[in-house]
Structure 1
Amino acid sequence: MMRVARFLPDLDFVLLCLALIAGGASAADRSVPVALAALVVLAGSGLVRARRMQRARRDSAAAEQELLETRAIARLLGENASEIVLRTDASGMITYASPAVAQHGRIKPEALLGASLPSLFNATKADDVARLHDLAIHGKSDGQWHEFRAGAALRGPDADGGWFELRVHPLIDEAGGHHGAVAILRNIDERKTFEQRLAEAGLTDPLTGLANRRAFIAMLQHCLDGQAQDAPNVGCIAMFDLDHFKQINDQFGQEVGDRVLVLFAGLARAQVRGEDMVARVGGEMFGVLLPQASPEQAEAVCQRILSTFSDQARVVGNAIVRTSASGGVARMARSADAAMRAAEIALYTAKAKGRDRLELETRKRSPGARW
């Protein structure tokens, strides 16, 4: 009887047996042996198992397809991105290097396999890189960009060591453990050269290391001169002001206030692209230039800057300080003065509406449009 149950052909026979047991036939028919009832139960459970197996196969196929698509997307991004992506194990040994390595030196990605992450940079900073990796492995990555000069292992023995920004994130397994890290590198040679020229010309802010107001206006004018005024994305300008900064200085002292300014400068620079400019334009006010960025892109970047800085209690020096900022965004249009004035009006609107928020430039526009 058990052998029959294993090979029961379909559901129709099961239903027929159920009808017989339920009394749909004569009295003689209702004396069907108990074994037949067992046959039906076994068959039914077999069908349930079969359906579960079929569903599991479908789920497995869908998961496999999703994995293949994810790998394809990751491969596409890795092959076309200008930023270098490295994967390391828990010890810091590199197990994967993206093709972008070849864009920044004279070595191939496979040449980095087996090397340690700290060995890619100037030997004097190897301990700092190792510390960043160790923090990521233990789930304590700060998520910030850190500047390092490249060593021969990254740029090749005959190439001059350039500058890179490095950010390290942990790799987390299914159990929640950290078994490796992903390091992202982007070349900042152009920016470092520009910063050097600014420093030589007295165009940097000595406290934060950012460009000062004079350099900011000069770069804004350069962006406007290089683009047609009717171009769809000349770019955007943003102005930020730290909320209640005078209270921070009065309560905790100027040293803590200076550290808050440096903190905002670092967080803002970490959120923008390599071609963007962050400047301290005066006191606790900062400016950001986003060349060729659409209003939507500029809004997203500026909102991230506020989100990373605002409404958080931070340990700054020996004080616990709650920080926030307000911001205004406008398009680069007309003249440098007009663009800055539009961004400042948006900033003052944010202040008037309660601070700790971002406001967009008010312009004549079609109904429903944001700009």
Structure 2
Amino acid sequence: MGMNFTFQESSVLYGMLAESSTDIIFKTDPDGAIVHASPGMERLGHKASDAAGGEGLAPQRLLLDLVAPEARQQVAKAHARALAGDDVDWFEFPALAEDSRKRWFELRLRALLRADGAPYGVLGVMRSVDELRSLSERLFTATYTDALTGLTNRAAFVSMLRHMLDAGMDGCLALFSIDFFRTINMQYGQSAGDEVLTVFGDLLRELLRTDDLISRIGSERFAVILPRVTPVEAEGICRRVVTTLADLKQTVGEGTFAVTASASVARIATSLDSTMGRAEMALFVARAKGRNRLEMEKPVRLAAG
């Protein structure tokens, strides 16, 4: 059985819902000035104004005053669409609290119409999505970050390399492999092996450029995407990593020993499989030649016709 409310009953029900809800319910005039807002607006630090009779904000407060600068055009267009009669469904935008902290909300807008159908304002509902965005960011971090080193993982590396190829960006791919890593684990223990990986990851961060994308893609293997460099430039950058590591004596646990790495460089071109294949082959050559060295990809020789 349906429920019918008088106007007074509907007003009381609205007040009860507005006071108990964490959503922010507001009404604007056609110019976007907020003429009424539910108590939830105080979550943004915007207090109700005495000039408005204790209900809502002062008329001078505009909806866009609550919006971060980068999203004001988006919200203004949505408000105009609502006035024109469109039902504006939920969309996210960053809002500004009184202390200038940025908080994320989703917003829904509907036109308020007179008896003759002419709009006299907009009714809006704002709902906080900070917790959802925080959870999403944590899930993203967990999905694409190597927990041990804090570097991006193989999934992120593949995505970034594919993006570079699709965008036609120039650059090189470098692969690094810690030499005799299995022996380190067996002789000194897995905790020592983990420390070696962490130290090498930190060394890569220190020696490589800010734009270089560093990932741990396997047990003892690291990949570096070097955007906008020639093979000659990439060779100089990566050779410095190999020689610097070899010159360091790592103190891990109770032991002090030398750690070295083998490395390779290939141009990012053609396809993901081609780029990886050429880099992997050069890395195989570096290890076959005695490790602790850098090898560049070999030019492809075409068969004589």
CA contact (8 A) 1:242 1:324 kept: yes
TM-superposition CA deviations, 1:126-173 (whole Å, max 9, x none): xxxxxxxxxxxxxxxxxxxxxxxxxxxxxxxx999xxxxxxxxxxxxx
Q: Work out the CA distance in 2 between the residues paired with 1:335 and 1:344.
A: 14
Give matches, 1:27-106, under 5 Å. Answer: none
Give matches, 1:154-193, under 5 Å. Answer: none
Equivalent in the alignment of 2:294:
358
Give matches, 1:341-352, under 5 Å. Answer: 341-352=277-288
Give matches, 1:126-275, under 5 Å. Answer: 199-200=140-141, 202-227=143-168, 234-275=170-211
Q: Which runs of 5+ in 2 are unaligned?
A: 1-98, 102-136
What amino acid maps onto 1:211 in structure 2?
Answer: T
Give the superposition deviation at 1:365.
Answer: 7.4
Give the superposition deviation at 1:349.
Answer: 0.3
Equivalent in the alignment of 1:43:
none
TM-superposition CA deviations, 1:83-105 (whole Å, max 9, x none): xxxxxxxxxxxxxxxxxxxxxxx
Please tell me whether residue 312 in structure 1 is matched to residue 248 in structure 2.
yes
Equivalent in the alignment of 1:340:
276
Equivalent in the alignment of 2:87:
none
Give the superposition deviation at 1:278.
Answer: 0.7
What amino acid maps onto 2:219 in structure 1?
Answer: G
Q: Work out the CA distance in 1 between the residues paired with 2:100 and 2:301.
A: 52
Please tell me whether residue 300 in structure 1 is matched to residue 236 in structure 2.
yes
Equivalent in the alignment of 1:106:
none
Give the superposition deviation at 1:296.
Answer: 1.1
Rg larger for: 1
SS of the aligned residue for 1:237 comes to strand
Q: Work out the CA distance in 1 between the residues paired with 2:240 and 2:214.
A: 14
Aligned mate of 1:321, from 257, 272, 275:
257
SS of the aligned residue for 2:217 comes to strand
Q: Which runs of 5+ in 1 are unaligned?
A: 1-157, 161-195, 229-233, 367-371
SS of the aligned residue for 2:147 comes to coil
TM-superposition CA deviations, 1:29-80 (whole Å, max 9, x none): xxxxxxxxxxxxxxxxxxxxxxxxxxxxxxxxxxxxxxxxxxxxxxxxxxxx
Q: Work out the CA distance in 1 between the residues paired with 2:292 and 2:139.
A: 31
SS of the aligned residue for 1:274 comes to coil
TM-superposition CA deviations, 1:296-325 (whole Å, max 9, x none): 111111011111212532211221121000
What amino acid maps onto 2:227 in structure 1?
Answer: P
Equivalent in the alignment of 1:277:
213
CA contact (8 A) 1:198 1:215 kept: no
SS of the aligned residue for 2:162 comes to helix
Give the superposition deviation at 1:226.
Answer: 1.1
- The TM-score, its normalising length taken from structure 2, stands at 0.52
Q: Which has the higher strand share?
A: 2
Q: Work out the CA distance in 2 between the residues paired with 1:159 and 1:292.
A: 38
Q: Work out the CA distance in 1 between the residues paired with 2:139 and 2:229.
A: 24
What amino acid maps onto 2:146 in structure 1?
Answer: D
Q: Work out the CA distance in 2 between the residues paired with 1:198 and 1:226.
A: 27
Which aligned runs of 4 or more in structure 1 are off by greater than 2 angstroms? Answer: 196-201
Q: Work out the CA distance in 2 between the residues paired with 1:270 and 1:221.
A: 25
RMSD of aligned residue pairs (Cα, Å): 2.2
Change (3 A) 1:284 1:159: farther
Change (3 A) 1:340 1:321: same
Q: Which has the higher helix share?
A: 1
CA contact (8 A) 1:198 1:204 kept: no
